A and B are shown apart, each in its own frame.
Chain A
Amino acid sequence: MNENRHSVIVIVIIIVGVILLTKLFMIQVVDDSFLRRAERNAVQRIVDYPYRGLISDRHNELLVHNNPVFDLMVIPQEFSIEDTAKFCDIFQIEKEKLIERYTAAKKYSWVKPSPLIKQISTTDFAKIQDYLIDYPGLFVMTRSVRAYPDSIAGSALGYIAEIVPRQLERDTMHYYSQGDYIGHSGLESYYEKILRGKKGAKYKMVNVRGVDKGSFKNGALDTASVAGLNLQSTIDLQLQKYGEKLMKGKRGSVVAIEPKTGEILSMISAPVYDPNLLAGAAYSKNYNVLLSDTTKPLFIRPIQAKYPPGSIFKVVQSLIGLQWGILTPNTTFACNKALVACHNHPSPVNLFGAIRNSCNPYYYQAFRQMINQDVSTNTYTDTQIGLDKWHEAVEKFGLGHKLGVDLPYENSGSVPSSQLYNRIYGEGRWKYSTIYSLSIGQGEMLVTPLQMANLAAIFANKGYYYTPHLIKAINGDPNNIPEEYTTKHDVGVSAHHFDMVHDAMAEALYGTAMRAIIKDITIAGKTGTAQNPHGEDHSVFVAFAPKEDPKIAIAVYVENAGWGGRAAASTASLMIEKYLRGHTERPALEEYVLAGEFGD
């Protein structure tokens, strides 16, 4: 009865063999997930970070470079210290911090390196370098952080910091990974793709404890990193530095533009902060300090702050009026203070006198003629048609929309159209008396300091502008900058209309801004006062110089500094002198501005 049982045993042996081979076939041949898991196990991808491009000023002086910093890494398994106090003394670390970091390192891995002290500067590193040999399990990893040798132009340059989740989500190319650095503001952000270069990767094999076991496939898959391109910016380092010095202790903006090219020579957002604060180890601490500062240093005033253009807008009104043929240099209106308040000056005035004296009733009357051209018998419809025509003309001056400067977060300002008033008052329910304050640059109009500086450039150029920009060349080549910065924008006003405006603006200085006058340099300028419902008015001045062949156009805002003839005009004048002469010869005026006491 048992003789056939050996056959059963043979069958069992065969079944066992078949089952094993089938299962082996399943996991080895059919299911290829194990191969990927094996590579994930044993092959580690090491990112080779590229060298970020440098940023220089218009004369190739460095504004931003990369500074090597050193991370002191620890491998807990090999690390031991006998005298903790001595160690803390040498490496400049508090005992509690050392214990905390070391505990974290041990928790992460016994054999993989973890940072013990992050971002040691070159000077500090020199101090500890010789001691490293006494401590096994410590080694140094070199990284680089951004450094700003002159500590200037923080708001224009921006900063780099670890990528935030929102940016990671937008990165559809999956270039970035958690912990990567990315430009967060300013040029660093706008030209991120140019500056960042291209990451490389090295594949190396590691064992189960993460210990390096050599390159994978002899480096066949490795790619080298490509360094980022260098940017030459349009900023003039000396001018920027001087301007930041002048704006110290004040709030406001300075924007200086080279009119013929649209190149931004200087862009200051006061209060200024030292961009070095946002580079390196103390980033998050400093960032929070800046963020909670009530003077809002991180607010990029030149492109984000909005003010009513005030009197300066009268120049635009004059130009549109001339172009439309509504005004001529001889058009005369009486300074009728019953219409709108004005200061004392001779009356009546012609256009020249109106600009020179900044006559409010003149523009009240002139603007009414521009708006109500009797196209329609209905006053309301007529106003609406007139306003829209005017709106179109004003927008050509770069107002009411983003100029397109190469910085993120630019504000568009606003120039009201009929749509706005229809929304507020209802269609057919508003007329000239509703909107007359636009005539003198008040009311629902808002412009940014950058737009204002661009206006100055338009005046200087007699009717055209290039979009203000901060880029001059990419990797030394001025030809590959974005096309929009080499496109001329015509404002639709004939050049000859500007001649009278130039003269009036040059003359205006003698009436409203005596301080701004420079010997041998003719400045054409216009003061303004941006009304501030929250406190003292803001001091505004726009100008260009030299009048004969403008090299610089400038807009200066000093918040809560009152009348434009003092703080803003003085600052602008000094900036113009500095740029045109390379130095200033008016120590008294400089002291006046630095002192910052602009009261009567």
Chain B
Amino acid sequence: MYWLENSETDVRQNDLYINKIDWLSILLYGALVMIGWFNIYAAVYDEQAAKSIFDFSINSGKQLVWIGTAVLLITVIMVADYRLFDNLSLILYGIFLLILLLTPFIGKEINGQRAWFEIGPFRLQPGEFAKFATALALAKFIEKPSFDLSRPKFQFQAILIIMLPVSLIMLQPDTGTAMVYMAFFIMLYREGMPQKYYVFALVFIAISLLSLAVDNNLYIALPVAGLTLVLILMGKKNWQRIVTLCMIGIAIIAYSYSLDLVVSKLPQHQQNRIMVLFNPDIDPLGVGWNVTQSKIAIGSGGFWGKGYLEGTQTKFDFVPEQHTDFIFCTLGEEFGWIGSLIVVLLFVALLIRLVFLAERQKTRFSRVYGYCVISILLFHFMINISMTIGLFPVVGIPLPFFSYGGSSLWSFTILLFIFIKLDSHRIQLLGRMN
């Protein structure tokens, strides 16, 4: 694409480091963080006991502390040696694996999960921070010229690097965070993972959703059987082909039937989250509550929104977790579709800008890391907003830069700014590209 074609002349001509930094990304980041901060204030605002947005006793004041410290982190990252991340990647990965291993034992139990460390007044979620370490490790491994993702051996290695932290996080158990690691497959796709896997996965997901959505699996079994028959009749009639097609058909039908069985074996709260996706009215006051209330809040915003601090649904606590995972509700309610449009466009712009940056890297290390950042951000953005508007089951993952909380803001900031740092040194980082 021509608009991603890139001329390096301007960078080379200017020797000032500050001009090598991608200020557009930082601007988009800053905009999202500030909008997020104002929304956190709106989410906790109480007209009858109005407090300043800077009041440290409320979450907006605390978030300001997190933003301030995030700026410190950015400064540290930007002044650090760019080679540090390359060199430390495997060590950081190792350290985080160790921390994740310990978390289920020494973490603080919240809602039946041991996903948090408590250090003084602060709570940190190692699973969030392990993302950038995993990203660095993936970059380090894939950097090797011999690392060819079309070969099963390397496919296996890449998946292993991803699955190690995932399996440890599952021990906590924190399904939402673990799920985010699946986003790395977006990066693997860019780096040459065979396309057929993705096609297969999409078909698999489609069949899964279908068989969960329909009441009677016959609605799937009959069309699949019919399609198989048509394919058999249309193509060559050799035994091998017929047997293969039959096997695939039977496998799909068997899968659709077994899925209901598998779902019924899941813990009840996960089952409910899945079923609510298809019918939030099953139990609007119970498991459907979050989705229903979230949709009411966003939906009641209309085109222009109710105005800043004028929302009733989020302000009066109808939406649970409104300052963390459901922060998008406040935006949707108070700023309407226009506000949602702006934020969605900001995210899309940032992601495309990052694709642009990743593609202009001189080393595979930086590019792989860049795509890791894109993958994680895209996944969070997509899943978080989808769940607030009922397109995806409720998964406890935050909206990047928006949601309240130190762990989430810090980890996304570190994730993004390591890439911006690497990008600013792309001229020095001359590696072999393949």
Contacts and interface: CB of A to CB of B under 8 A. Distances in A.
A214 B47 contact: yes
A43 B312 contact: yes
A21 interface: yes
Given A10-B1, A213-B316, A214-B48, A27 B186 contact: no
A36 to B, nearest CB: 8
B82 to A, nearest CB: 23
B189 A5 contact: yes
Interface stretch (A203-211, A257-265, A490-498, A509-517): A203-211
Contacts of B117: none
Interface stretch (A12-20, A69-77, A187-195): A12-20
Interface string B376-409: 0010011001100101000000000000000000
A34 B352 contact: no
Contact of A41 (B191, B312, B352, B371): B312
Contact of A9 (B303, B374, B386): B374
A38 B336 contact: no
Nearest to A13: B351
B389 A27 contact: yes
Contact of A29 (B337, B352, B374, B385): B337
Contact of A10 (B47, B192, B298, B352): B352
Given A16-B382, A208-B318, A42 B313 contact: yes
B96 to A, nearest CB: 26
Contacts of A13: 348, 351-352, 355, 378
Nearest to A34: B299
A42 B351 contact: no
Contacts of B299: 27-28, 31, 33-35, 37-38
A37 B319 CA distance: 13
Nearest to B340: A24
Given A2-B191, A41-B313, A207-B317, A20 B386 contact: yes
Interface residues of A, number: 40
B107 interface: no
Contacts of B190: 2, 5-6, 9
Contacts of A32: 302
A41 B319 CA distance: 11
Interface residues of B, number: 49
B355 A23 contact: no
Interface string B330-360: 0011001100110011011001100100110
B231 interface: no
A288 interface: no
Given A9-B186, A209-B317, A28 B381 contact: no
A17 B347 contact: yes
B297 interface: yes
Nearest to B350: A13
B182 to A, nearest CB: 14
Nearest to B198: A8
B316 A205 contact: yes
A81 interface: no
Contacts of B48: 213-214
Contact of B385 (A6, A20, A34, A38): A20
Contacts of A8: 189
A20 B347 CA distance: 12
Contacts of A5: 189-190
Mostly, the B contact residues are helix
B312 A17 contact: no
A28 B47 contact: no
A213 B47 CA distance: 8
A218 B206 CA distance: 50
A169 B293 CA distance: 33
Contact of A25 (B47, B312, B337): B337
A17 B359 contact: no
A7 interface: yes
A6 B359 contact: yes
B295 interface: yes
A88 to B, nearest CB: 35
Contacts of A16: 348, 378, 381-382
B302 A38 contact: no
A443 to B, nearest CB: 68
A256 B336 CA distance: 72
Contact of A28 (B340, B352, B371): B340
Contacts of B298: 24, 27-28, 34
B296 interface: yes
A1 interface: yes
Given A9-B190, A28-B332, A28-B340, A42 B352 contact: no
B300 interface: yes
B155 to A, nearest CB: 14
Most buried by B among A6, A29, A32, A206: A6
Contacts of B371: 9
B316 A42 contact: yes
Contacts of A17: 344-345, 347-348
Contacts of B378: 12-13, 16
Contacts of B359: 6
Interface of A: 1-2, 5-10, 12-14, 16-17, 19-21, 23-25, 27-29, 31-35, 37-39, 41-43, 205-209, 213-214
The 7 closest A-B pairs by CB, nearest first: A34-B299, A207-B316, A38-B300, A42-B312, A27-B299, A17-B348, A28-B337
20 contacts: A5-B190, A6-B355, A9-B374, A10-B1, A10-B355, A13-B352, A17-B344, A21-B341, A24-B298, A29-B302, A29-B303, A33-B299, A34-B295, A34-B296, A37-B299, A38-B312, A43-B312, A207-B317, A209-B317, A213-B47
Given A9-B371, A27-B298, A37-B296, 15 more contacts: A2-B191, A6-B4, A6-B355, A10-B1, A10-B355, A13-B351, A16-B381, A19-B391, A23-B389, A34-B295, A38-B296, A41-B293, A41-B296, A207-B318, A214-B47
Interface of B: 1, 4, 47-48, 186, 189-192, 293, 295-303, 312-313, 315-318, 332-333, 336-337, 340-341, 344-345, 347-348, 351-352, 355, 358-359, 371, 374, 378, 381-382, 385-386, 389, 391
